């Protein structure tokens, strides 16, 4: 292709604008914002992974977890990929799954936070009592449930010890 006959066009400046390097480049102005948002997401993810509470994000319905924090994997013994491929109710003790499904349905319908105590099951079959709360939010026209479960094993153990001590009196 022959260059245009107008020699006054600065081809280097036009090239820089197209690839995002020029002063007035649209691409260049978005890059710092994109970097800042990526940094914010990485920081948020690191903080969520450092909490002791189990955090699961689910889609409304019978879908598996969309995301989970490291505490889920640590306490329950499932690799993250497995947690994301299992229906969330598979993490709940079998005798409590109907109540769990009911809790999820209620939270999805009411949009209010629902709370309960329930047992989660690890890969080796050990059951962990947790205080579980769930709340649904809409994001990108999809309904997501945010489940936060706090391990109350120690509290339950202390309650049993207190009851036994009171019986001896």
> Rounded to two decimals, what is the model's pTM?
0.75
**How many CB atoms neighbour CB 15 within 10 A?**
11
- Whether the Cβ atoms of residue 95 and residue 81 lie closer than 8 Å to each other: no
- Give residues with Cβ within 8 angstroms of 68, minimum separation 6: 54, 55, 56, 57, 80, 83, 84
Express each pLDDT in 71-105 by its tens digit: 999 999 999 999 988 889 999 999 999 999 999 99
Beta pairing class for 65-68 and 142-151? unpaired
Express each pLDDT in 115-148 by its tens digit: 999 999 999 999 999 999 999 999 999 999 999 9
């Amino acid at each position: 292709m022959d260059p245009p006959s107008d020699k006054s066009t600065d081809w280097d400046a036009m090239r820089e604008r197209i690839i995002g390097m020029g002063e007035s480049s649209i691409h260049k102005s978005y890059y710092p914002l994109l970097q800042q948002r990526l940094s914010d997401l990485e920081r948020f993810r690191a903080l969520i992974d450092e909490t002791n509470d189990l955090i699961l994000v689910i889609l409304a319905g019978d879908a598996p977890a969309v995301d989970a924090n490291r505490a889920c994997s640590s306490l329950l013994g499932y690799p993250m990929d497995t947690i994301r491929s299992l229906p969330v109710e598979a993490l709940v003790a079998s005798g409590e799954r109907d109540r769990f499904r009911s809790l999820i349905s209620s939270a999805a319908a009411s949009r209010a936070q629902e709370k309960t105590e329930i047992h989660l099951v690890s890969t080796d079959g050990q059951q962990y009592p947790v205080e579980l709360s769930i709340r649904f939010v809409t994001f990108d026209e999809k309904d997501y449930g945010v489940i936060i479960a706090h391990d109350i094993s120690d509290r339950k153990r202390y309650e049993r010890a207190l009851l036994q001590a009171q019986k001896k009196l």
